[in-house]
Amino acid sequence: MPPNRTTAARAAKLPKKPAPPKLPAAPAPAKLPEHDLVDDGLYRELSFGPLDLSGRDAESVEIERCVFNGTLFPATVLERASVSDSTFDRCDLANLRLTSARTFTTVLSGSRMTGGAFTDCTFQDVVFDSCRADLAGFRFSTFRRAVFRDCNLEGVTFQNADVRGVRFEGCRLSGAQFSGATMTGARFSGCDLRGVGGVQSLRGAIVAAEDAAGLLSSLAADLDITIEDAP
């Protein structure tokens, strides 16, 4: 039996999965102060355990093929950082500030990103899995082949971000702000979308039927529609 044309067309439109990071078989253990974050620092094929890297302020840091497990980055500020082929597992990234950073083929899992500010950054082939990123900001950032899976994104802002093709799966997005975002092909499935702001920017997005009800109040408010109970 020939394949269903409608099904085939839909499958063709599905965004590509993010490429996985290429990690070293045996990364060397990172140590302080040798591997502290400093301007123009290069960190390659290292394994960072629960080291405290909080409150650092560095520019042009390069991180390649590194593994971070329980590493602490609260309130650290990094400008023009580059991260590639790396993983962050159960790390504390609360209030981390990244500006004009580039992140490629990276997985962040079970990490805390509350209040983080990721401004004018690029995320390509990146997976955010089971992360707490409430009140985080991704303003003016660009995403390519990115997935947010089972994340707490309450109150997050994607203002003026390019999230075309991004997949949001099983995420809590109540109160999230998408004002000015470019969202063609972005997909929402199993997500809480109550109170989402900037709903007009969702033009071209794909929302699962069971998620659409959560957008009703935001759409009504945006269009000045009053919803009342039947008498």
pLDDT digits (tens, 9 = 90+) for 50-61: 999 999 999 999
- Domain membership of residue 174 (yes or no) is yes
- Domain membership of residue 231 (yes or no) is no
Please say if the pLDDT value at position 192 is more than 90. Answer: yes
Name the DSSP class of 11.
H
**pLDDT reported for residue 7:** 43
Query: Rounded CA gap, 183 and 204, in Å?
Result: 6
**pLDDT reported for residue 175:** 93
Mean pLDDT of 118-132: 98
Higher pLDDT, 44 or 220: 44
Residues 6+ apart with CB under 8 A from 10: none
pLDDT band at residue 228 using 50, 70 and 90 as cut-offs: low
The structural domain count of the chain equals 1
- Domain membership of residue 161 (yes or no) is yes
Are 206 and 226 within 8 A, CB to CB?
no
Query: Rounded CA gap, 79 and 57, in Å?
Result: 8
- Domain membership of residue 7 (yes or no) is no
Please say if the pLDDT value at position 223 is more than 80. Answer: no
CATH number of the domain where residue 119 is located: 2.160.20.80
Please say if the pLDDT value at position 1 is more than 60. Answer: no
- Domain membership of residue 15 (yes or no) is no
Please say if the pLDDT value at position 11 is more than 90. Answer: no
Residues 6+ apart with CB under 8 A from 3: none
- Domain membership of residue 203 (yes or no) is yes
In percent, the amount of the chain with pLDDT more than 70 equals 88
Please say if the pLDDT value at position 2 is more than 60. Answer: no
Enclosing domain of residue 178: 20-222
- Domain membership of residue 40 (yes or no) is yes
Name the DSSP class of 62.
E
- Domain membership of residue 11 (yes or no) is no
Q: Per mean pLDDT, which range of 97-111, 129-143, 150-164, 209-223 is the poorest? A: 209-223
